[in-house]
Structure 1
Amino acid sequence: MAVQKTLRPYATTGIAIVGAGLIAATPVTAPLANVTTMRDVALTSALTDAMAPWIAQYNTAAENATVLINNYNVAPNVAFQQLIANAQSWIQQVLDDPSKIPDVVNEMQENLRAVTNGYSLLNVAADDPIAATAVLHTLSGGADLSTFTLGHSLMFTLLPQLLPAFLPPGTDADAILPIINFIASPMSGMIMGMLGPGLSPWIAMMNSINDGDNLNEILANMTGAYFNGATLNLDFILPMLDGVVPPGTISHLDFAFGGLLTPGSVANADYTYYDASGNIVDAVPAVGGSIFNSLGLAIDASGFLGVPLTLTVESQAVGPIGAMMGWNQAMAGLMGGSPWNWDGKNVATSPAPPAEPPLAGMSLPIIPTDFFDDGGSGGSAQAGDSADWSAFMDAIAALNP
């Protein structure tokens, strides 16, 4: 008992100290939770900022890939489809009337000439239907007169008249026109498509450094440029053009390089789908491009228009997939596929034809039942109903004069 009485004051004191400590500790523990929350918010914000440029590049790539996929799905390998559809038509024509052989052969030769010349446009006049069809898939269209922004297709049409104002006196403008045709051709688009993914990341790096971007942004832009392309500003070379073009004629110059998934922007009208009521339910932008389409510039037109006016042409990049698909669709148009070379004019009153694959509803050639009938009275067919074999032999002889 004496020991308990001796320890009681100490126990009481100890309990009091512990209780006071718990009370004093309460305000300390609450701020700790707040500090942790602030760190979480800070870390989340930093991660969001770090991922923002990467997400933006991915979203652009996804949008570009969607355009390419939808273009392919409209009519896979459309040029090959058009070739098969044409061959089916030719065979049927010959089976129905062998005397059509010369006409069929001429049509085949015209298709071959159109595709061959349409690829490079080197031997094609600017007003040739071959050029008109090809550039729908290589040059941008549209014009905004409120801002004096022109499409490349309009600039291509005006160039023969504008060239004398840009060239030194005595220069033969006609000698330059074939070069202009080539840089507007599908072949030049294929060249740009192959160059773009290799050059675009380095152009994007240079642009990012000039813009003062941080390392994360630089890496994101370089990676994204491989897929989405980048634009090279060439204003620094304008002083070097003095003596080549009149000083001050060109006030801005840039060149757009495509990435792997860059679809391009061209004048051909969108490929459209309709419902049963004739309403457009979907529209797929056409793809393609060229060297000329990759050029962006601003031109002081006061020298040849007589009024202070600046004409602007915005650069349009193209990648390898977009260039190949554009050429595929151009070939279909050159071989007679009307939905694949639609200029889009007067869309309000004459909408674009539906994007119908060339092999839609296709059937194999049918041999007429009287094809081998000699036309005699003993045959099952009536006289005069059989194929004209004399015309057939004349057609063969016409092929070997």
Structure 2
Amino acid sequence: MNSLLERTPTHITISLFRGWLVVAAAVAMGIVFGILYSWSVVKAGIPASWGWSNADKALPYSVMCVMFALVMVPAGRLQDRFGPRWVVLLGGVLAGLGCVIAGVGGGSKLAYVVGFGVFTGIGVGFGYSALTPAAMKWFPPRNTGLVVGIVVAGSGLAPVFLAPLTTWLLNRFAVTAATGVVEQGVSQAMISLGVLIWLVVGTLFWFIENPPLGFAAVPGTHDRRMSSQQETGWQRMVRTPQFWLMYLMYFVGASAGLTFISVAADLGRQALGELAFLAVVVLALGNTVGRVIAGAVSDRIGRHLTLFAEFLFQGGMIGALFWASKQATGNGLVILAVLFCVGLNYGANLAIFPAACKDQFGIRYFGLNYGCLFTAFGLAGLVMPLLNGFIRDVTGNQDMSYILIMAMLAVAALMSLVSRQLAAGERG
């Protein structure tokens, strides 16, 4: 009798409803956990009276990115062990606290490095580590890519919401200094953003939950990939060729985006003049759409073929960007199209690799496993800007950076085919 009840349409409907409820809450929280995307706006509002150099303004963001990547490993382990709800709540508390610490610190660089860099970085890492696995577990493996794409689209949309909100806050709390100079309200804006994170996460974390033990997304059915899949712990995972192929591909995909997104945005501002804000919006939309489309496409044609197409496409877009950088005057529509595609391919990585990690190594240890894989993204964020700066200092331009990234993308495309062959051999 219980077996019959488990297979009823009502059971499936309730399960799907609860699954999509988790996804919706994850998307909303992903937007506020995308607080790192507001830093470019905050940085521009830092008043000259604080005496910060350009390097000082970059430091809190750099520290945040490093902490975000590093904490994904222990946060993933906690998520696997204790479940996603309390991990995401801890992430929200820390992320909001970091913004508040920065805000009450006035113009203190240490307050911003410790607050926004360390606390908010750790909080964002905890948040991201819990959202994706919780959502995936409510759906059958054939929908993994689509679900992951939708969840991570939340952070892709963050600039669309947080950038204008941050700008409004900076102007809302602006004051006129004794010298007569109008200074934007950076401190008050940071405190407000911290409170916003607390409100959103504190309201929605109740919806982030794993399915009950023994749950099947579609009762009575079995997915071939799931039935043949072996749950793999991180110790075994890091000894497999597949992991290191995925790691290198993730590094390359992230490197292409992190190295040239700022370049593309600058070209867009130069070509668009007063409409420069469109560069940020189009880039964010491309980033978001790429996550959803790539996830859905990879469910149909496979992760490896999707990566192969994405790497080749991104190589072509970097080439187009190289060409555009050499033109005396850029065509605004062409630049926007390239911006959208660069963002689209960059976002695709953040949907495909979590899904590929789950396909290859299972769901039981996914939090920790993906945390290990995600360090490739953090490593790209640490190494590639430094390498790009070194090349520019030595050669006086970025031409070698374009050539290097395009070559890396070509090699990564070949790696995706090798990885596909290895996966086919493992399935036998």
Coarse TM-score class (shorter-chain normalised): under 0.3
Higher share of residues assigned strand: 1
TM-score, reference length from structure 1: 0.27
The structure that is helix-richer by fraction is 2
Which protein is bigger by CA-based radius of gyration?
1
TM-score (norm. length: structure 2): 0.26
